[in-house]
């Protein structure tokens, strides 16, 4: 779309609020705005806003003290620590794993590359309950991976290690899919310039590639983390679900609901939403810093 | 070190990639079918013909058949408003659409229990009027709708934003009404993106476990969807039955993946996912 429109109507719509100038919306010849926005708001209100209002208000039935008592009970604290801690660890491990996969898929030509590329999305495509029982069958003491692990004295299924494996499984595609476009578009001349200037491959990786990849890797890891924190189906089969040891926070919500402790369940749910949003805000800030640094000329 | 681009590492990285994807992705898929057919084809088919399995399949299809069209219609309306018009609060609206992505599925089910459960806000009223929502089809649909709400909208919005509103504006000046523009201009322009969004939405709807498990009550043959049926059989140590049911959902996942990849390769320019690459 270049300048010189034959007709004023061909002018592209302004991208930002530049033309709003006090009005709440830009005039348009197109019909249906009130209807479309009305449907959108009604649906979001019914499916997201009203239910979340219930989530935000219900915990206080038990009063501030009740919420505090629920959230600081050892079992709840242990489950929150387990969910958030293991999710962070899994996201961290997915950084090198995801980068390796993305790097191989983007930088090398080999037969079967497209198949491998398609396989990356399988953890998204496989329903969580299916992934859960499959990972459990693999890593149970009599499963192929479980037997392998037993040789080095490790137990995967029914331990926190099993939860960790499931969280790595569901998080991997996020990091790969975020890193791939950056690797594909990375200017090879910059790399070549670095090597002409005498940089070793290690220096090129750590000082040229990694800073450019950092924002994408951060957002991939944070998406993987957010998904892992709330993950239920692929975890509960492999977890063992022992209170204080291998009981994730979402499972504790289900347990509280089964005991008809609605306020307690809502308190844990609300705490998870709040902690997740806070973690996302931190990651967004970190990402802004990394993006500013990775801009050409901004590094030392 | 030579000036060659990390080429010495290539075989190593390829081996690592094959190992990671092999262990984390291929093996779980393989074990589903291996376990499902562990005792042969007869027990596999018998497990799928079980009345409870058939009821679970039927319920899953019904829930998806209601939830997916609703969210597709919502996605079209949201994308029409957001992509074709400029207004204040758009960023907040898009954040709200994304919210279900960052919620635990369990929380997406929990919120409906808080509203309609026996001790929920409307629980008493519903009981007085003999209306069943929780532990019945309506809650299963609501939970599914919540979890899958962003899929179609998130696919359509970037594509329709890129296309702008010029073609629609031209159609309107030529005298076309709103519905005609939608049917003859907008939808043909985004048909692949719409199909892509509906496919991923449907896969998630049929495979949803956490949200549905909270609201379903898990009555076999009545309120168990296919993923919940898998859980019930697995907990009974009926592994052939559990993995046979799982093989159906795994096949759905693989078919969705293949069609998705096909769309991404052929129509990458017309998809939000294609443009990311």
Kindly determine whether residue B104 and residue A180, on different chains, have CB atoms separated by under 8 Å: no
Residue B4 pLDDT exceeds 70: no
- Between A100-104, A190-194, B2-6, B230-234, the lowest mean confidence (pLDDT) is in B2-6
Sign of CA dihedral B225, B231, B237, B239: positive
Contact A209, A191 (CB under 8 A): yes
Mind listing the pLDDT tens digit for each residue in B101-140?
889 999 999 999 999 998 888 988 998 999 999 999 999 9
Residue B167 pLDDT exceeds 70: yes
Mind listing the pLDDT tens digit for each residue in A5-31?
445 445 555 555 555 666 778 888 888
Per-residue pLDDT at A279: 84
A261: left (phi over 0), alpha (psi -120 to 50) or beta: beta
Which residues partner with B87 through β-bridges? A25
Task: Look at chain A and count its residues.
Answer: 300
Structure-block tokens of residue A142: 């009599």
Give the count of Cβ contacts less than 8 A between chain A and B.
Answer: 315
State how far residue B66 is from chain A, nearest Cα, in angstroms.
14
Per-residue pLDDT at B1: 35
Report the half-sphere exposure of B140 (CA within 13 A, side-chain side). 31
Q: How far from chain centre, in Å, is Cα B132?
A: 25
Mind listing the pLDDT tens digit for each residue in B76-98?
999 999 999 999 999 999 999 99
Contact A38, A32 (CB under 8 A): no
Per-residue pLDDT at A10: 52
The closest of B110, B118, B120, B104 to B142, measured between CA atoms, is B110
Kindly determine whether residue B27 and residue A138, on different chains, have CB atoms separated by under 8 Å: yes
Mind listing the pLDDT tens digit for each residue in A178-196?
999 999 888 777 878 888 8
Mind listing the pLDDT tens digit for each residue in B223-262?
999 999 999 999 999 999 999 999 999 999 999 999 998 9
Which residues partner with A25 through β-bridges? B87
> CB neighbours (10 Å) of residue B124?
11
b or e along B189-204 (b: 16 or more beta carbons within 10 Å of the residue's beta carbon)?
Answer: bbebbbbbbbbbbbbb
Contacts of B257 in chain A (CB under 8 A): 118, 121-122, 125
How does residue B266 score in pLDDT terms, banded at 50, 70 and 90? confident
Most A CBs within 10 Å, among B11, B25, B89, B124, to test the A interface:
B25
- Give the integer Cα–Cα distance in Å for B15 and B198: 36
- Give the integer Cα–Cα distance in Å for A168 and B201: 23
Contacts of B88 in chain A (CB under 8 A): 17, 20, 24-25
In the predicted model, what is the mean pLDDT of residues A31-35? 91
Most B CBs within 10 Å, among A20, A31, A36, to test the B interface:
A36
Residue the block writes with tokens 């919306």? A25
State how far residue B276 is from chain A, nearest Cα, in angstroms.
7
Point out the residue among B77, B114, B242 whose CB comes nearest to the CB of A262. Answer: B114
How far CA B55 is from CA of A108, A123, B59, B125, B231, in Å, comes to 48, 27, 6, 30, 15
User: Please, what's the largest Cα pairwise distance for chain B?
Assistant: 80
Average pLDDT, chain A: 88
Mind listing the pLDDT tens digit for each residue in A134-160?
999 999 999 999 999 999 999 999 999
CATH architecture of residue range(s) A64-294: Orthogonal Bundle (1.10)
Residue A44 pLDDT exceeds 50: yes
More confident of the two residues B25 and B4: B25
State how far residue A263 is from chain B, nearest Cα, in angstroms.
9
């Amino acid at each position: 779309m270049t300048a010189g429109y034959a007709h004023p109507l061909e002018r592209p719509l302004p991208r930002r609020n530049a033309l709003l100038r006090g009005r709440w919306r830009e005039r348009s010849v197109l019909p249906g705005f009130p209807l479309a926005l009305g449907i959108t708001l009604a649906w979001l209100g019914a499916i997201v806003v009203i239910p979340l209002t219930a989530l935000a208000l219900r915990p206080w039935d038990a009063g501030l003290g009740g919420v505090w008592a629920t959230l600081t009970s050892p079992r709840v604290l242990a489950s929150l620590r387990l969910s958030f801690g293991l999710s962070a660890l899994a996201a961290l491990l997915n950084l090198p794993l995801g980068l390796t996969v993305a790097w191989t898929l983007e930088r090398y030509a080999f037969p079967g590359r497209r198949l491998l590329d398609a396989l990356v999305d399988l953890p998204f495509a496989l329903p969580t309950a299916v992934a859960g029982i499959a990972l459990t069958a693999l890593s149970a003491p009599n499963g192929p991976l479980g037997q392998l692990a037993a040789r080095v004295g490790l137990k995967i299924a029914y331990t926190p290690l099993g939860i960790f494996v499931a969280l790595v499984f569901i998080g991997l595609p996020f990091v790969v899919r975020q890193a791939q476009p950056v690797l594909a578009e990375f200017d090879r001349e910059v790399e070549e310039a670095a090597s002409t200037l005498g940089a070793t491959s290690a220096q090129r990786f750590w000082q040229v590639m990694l800073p450019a990849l950092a924002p994408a890797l951060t957002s991939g890891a944070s998406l993987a983390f957010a998904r892992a924190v709330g993950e239920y189906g692929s975890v509960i089969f492999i977890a063992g679900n022992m209170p204080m040891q291998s009981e994730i926070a979402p499972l504790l919500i289900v347990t509280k609901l089964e005991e008809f402790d609605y306020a307690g369940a809502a308190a844990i749910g609300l705490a998870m939403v709040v902690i997740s949003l806070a973690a996302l805000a931190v990651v967004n800030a970190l990402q802004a810093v990394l993006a500013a640094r990775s801009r050409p000329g901004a590094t030392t | 070190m030579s000036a060659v681009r990390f080429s010495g590492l290539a075989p190593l990285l390829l081996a690592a990639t094959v190992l990671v994807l092999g262990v984390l992705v291929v093996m779980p898929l393989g074990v589903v079918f291996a376990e499902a057919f562990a005792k042969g084809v007869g027990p596999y088919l018998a497990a799928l013909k079980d009345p409870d399995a058939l009821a679970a399949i039927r319920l899953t299809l019904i829930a998806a058949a209601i939830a997916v069209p609703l969210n597709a219609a919502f996605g079209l309306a949201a994308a029409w408003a957001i992509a074709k018009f400029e207004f204040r609060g758009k960023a907040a609206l898009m954040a709200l659409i994304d919210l279900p992505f960052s919620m635990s599925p369990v929380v997406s089910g929990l919120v409906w229990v808080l509203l309609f459960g026996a001790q929920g806000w409307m629980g008493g009223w519903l009981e007085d009027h003999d209306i069943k929502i929780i532990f019945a089809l309506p809650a299963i649909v609501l939970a599914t709708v919540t979890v899958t709400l962003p899929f179609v909208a998130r696919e359509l919005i970037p594509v329709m934003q890129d296309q702008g509103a010029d073609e629609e504006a031209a159609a309107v000046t030529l005298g076309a009404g709103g519905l005609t523009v939608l049917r003859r201009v907008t939808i043909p322009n985004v048909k692949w993106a719409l199909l892509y969004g509906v496919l991923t939405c449907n896969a998630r709807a049929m495979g949803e476990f956490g949200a549905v498990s909270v609201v379903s009550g898990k009555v076999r043959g009545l309120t168990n969807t296919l993923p919940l049926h898998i859980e019930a059989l697995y907990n009974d140590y009926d592994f052939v039955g559990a993995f046979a049911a799982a093989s159906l959902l795994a096949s759905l996942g693989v078919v969705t993946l293949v069609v998705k990849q096909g769309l991404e390769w052929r129509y990458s320019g017309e998809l939000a996912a294609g443009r990311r690459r």
